[in-house]
Amino acid sequence: MLLRRLSVTIYTRDRGRKSVGGGKLKTIEDINEKIESGKAVVLTAREFKERVRKKKTRAEDVDVVTTATCGLMSGTAAILSIPITRGGKFERADEVWINDVPAFPGPCPNERLGIVDVIVYGTARSESKPQEYGGGHLFRELVEGKRVEVKVKADGKVFRKKVTISELGFAKLLTTRSSFRNYMGFLNTKKGKVKSIFSVMGLRGPYEEISVSGCGEINPLENDPHLQTIGVGTKVLVNGAVGYVLSKGTRSSVQRPNLSVVADMHGMSPELMGGFVTSSGPECVTSIAIPIPVLDEKIFSNLEKTDEEVGLPIADIHDRVPFTESDYGKVWKNTDLKIRFNPRKCQEHEVCEVQKYCPTKAFRKGEGIDESKCFNCGACVRLCPNGAFEGNLGRIEIGGKEIPITLRQSNRERAEELASMLKRMIIRRKFLLANPVARLE
Ligand code: SF4
């Protein structure tokens, strides 16, 4: 029997809602019961915010809001267990590389078993192509089912084995920090260019361009900033596969929490992950979706925040200390989430800057944009001298100057797709909500 202890809601002229009594509306069990009976009202964060803007929603009308983020998440690693030889061929691995990306053997020594357990960082770089290929690329190739080459140095000998993910009994993706409650914008306040993981070509200064990260109003932790519903054991999607929250991540704070999550790589979707080459080398793209159950008015009220109300701190790339603040409305409202290629304007220059610098290698001359790889970062809009790449990335005013956004390191379009994927899974009863087993302290 569904519990309904509805509180009285007062609508004020400034759209604020005050809960009188503020009692609980429903429990996770109530919502799961509704999911099972096909009666749950599930909205993506985008659908929910549209209703909020039209002032057409009440807490008792919605059961779950699916939130998501997709962006560069440096704190991503893979833990893999790889069969290399028959038992007895070597005692323990000393060094391991996969597709030339260094991996850390252990912690289990797997003594004389012919198996190596490794941890690979998403930010690790290939030894032969350090500016082009890294851990993020490797994770995506594994999930795509590609064969990867493992090289093991052990007992003074070298062992090589080509494997696919289907041969790995254990392949998990773990984040040490991810899904930050939004992020920041960076610019260069001084003359010249600064190489950085927050740029593709180096950030030009003074005050020439801004690079931004964060999915704004659809970000999971922006919708549950006090971690009322997200806790240890909360069920989430990581790159499309079911995973769980382990704890808060490193550098998590009360103001800007982030999460450590884990999921099996076997069920992941390659287009939600991968490598992204910055002017400081390869980074790792990760996507996370989290369902927010509308259990009470307070949770509902946190969900009402829109892009214009989400702060975007802006920092100088030299010290990364925010010196001013804008908002995510400048990034995601009245801008183009998707970047389009207009082949009529393409002159197929001998050296195509976009083909050379596209951070995900999504563009090839004569072929256009590979949608499955494109991150909608917008770097190509500035790189192409003929304007063959179209997309309004927005501008941010600082000190009276309108500075163009030239790079987005979060892919809102892909995050919205992931939020829709989670919604479909819930509606089709393939994803029930999990009660956290402990609060994230
Ligand atoms: S938006 Fe342009 S530069 Fe960015 S990934 Fe897509 S094609 Fe490459």
CA distances from 320 to 189, 196, 198, 202 (A): 11, 11, 11, 15
180, 222 contact by CB (below 8 A): no
**Which atom in ligand 1 lies closest to the alpha carbon of residue 379?**
3
pLDDT band at 17 (very low <50, low <70, confident <90, very high): very low
The Cα–Cα gap between 406 and 57 comes to 35
Nearest CA to ligand 1 atom 1: 376
Indicate whether 401 pLDDT > 50: yes
Q: Flag whether pLDDT at 19 surpasses 90.
A: no
H helix or E strand, kind and range, residue 420 = helix 412-427
Asked if residue 103 has pLDDT above 60, the reply is yes
Model pLDDT, residue 22: 52
pLDDT for the residue 341: 97
- Which is the closest atom of ligand 1 to the Cα of 373? 5
Which pTM does this prediction carry?
0.93
The answer, yes or no, to whether any atom of ligand 1 lies below 6 A from the CB of 377, is yes
What pLDDT is stored for residue 25 in this prediction? 84
8, pLDDT greater than 80: no
pLDDT at 339 (0 to 100): 98
| pLDDT tens digits, one per residue of 299-342 | 999 999 999 999 999 999 999 999 999 999 999 999 999 999 99
Instruction: Give the span between the Cα atoms of 340 and 367, in whole angstroms.
Output: 13
Pocket of ligand 1 contains residue 374 by CB under 6 Å: yes
- For residue 236, the CA-to-ligand 1 centroid distance in Å is 28
Atom of ligand 1 nearest to the CA of 354: 3
pLDDT digits (tens, 9 = 90+) for 26-75: 999 999 999 999 999 999 999 999 999 998 889 999 999 999 999 999 99
Whether pLDDT at 218 is above 90: yes
What is the mean predicted confidence (pLDDT) over 397-419? 97
pLDDT the model gives residue 23: 63
- Band (pLDDT 50/70/90 cuts) for residue 388 is very high
Q: What separation in Å is there between the alpha carbon of 15 and the centre of ligand 1?
A: 38
Lowest-pLDDT range, 54-63, 148-157, 269-278, 389-398?
A: 54-63
* pLDDT at 349 > cutoff 80: yes
Minimum CA distance residue for ligand 1 atom 8: 358
Question: Is the C-beta atom of 362 inside 6 A of ligand 1?
Answer: yes
User: Which parts of 14-114 fold into alpha helices (H)?
Assistant: 28-36, 45-53
> Per-residue pLDDT for 135 more than 90?
yes
Using CA atoms in the order 78, 412, 423, 177, what is the torsion angle rounded to 10 degrees? 30
Mean per-residue pLDDT for 98-108?
A: 97
Query: Residue 222: pLDDT above 50?
Result: yes
Mean pLDDT of the chain: 93
Rounded average pLDDT over 8-23? 36
The pLDDT of residue 96 is above 80: yes
* Predicted confidence (pLDDT) per residue in 280-297, tens digit: 999 999 999 999 999 999
Q: How many helices (H) and strands (E) does the chain have?
A: 9, 28
Per-residue pLDDT band for 14 (boundaries 50, 70, 90) equals: very low
pLDDT at 370: 97
Per-residue confidence band for 128, with pLDDT thresholds at 50, 70 and 90: very high
Provide the percentage of residues in the chain whose pLDDT is more than 90.
91
**Most ligand 1 atoms within 8 A of CB, residue of 361, 363, 410 to mutate:** 363
Among the listed residues 260, 213, 181, 227, the one whose alpha carbon sits nearest the alpha carbon of residue 393: 213
Residue 2's pLDDT is: 35
Find the 402 Cα to ligand 1 centroid distance in Å: 23
Nearest atom of ligand 1 to the alpha carbon of 360:
5
* pLDDT (tens digit per residue) in 227-253: 999 999 999 999 999 999 999 999 999
- pLDDT mean over 90-119: 97
Please provide the DSSP assignment of 143-160 as one string. Answer: HTT--EEEEEEETTEEEE
Domain boundaries, given as residue ranges, for the chain:
75-174
Cis preceding linkage at 107, omega within 30: yes
Contacts of residue 297, Cβ cutoff 8 Å, sequence gap at least 6: 7, 9, 17, 19, 22, 25, 59
Ligand 1 atom 6: residue of nearest CA: 374
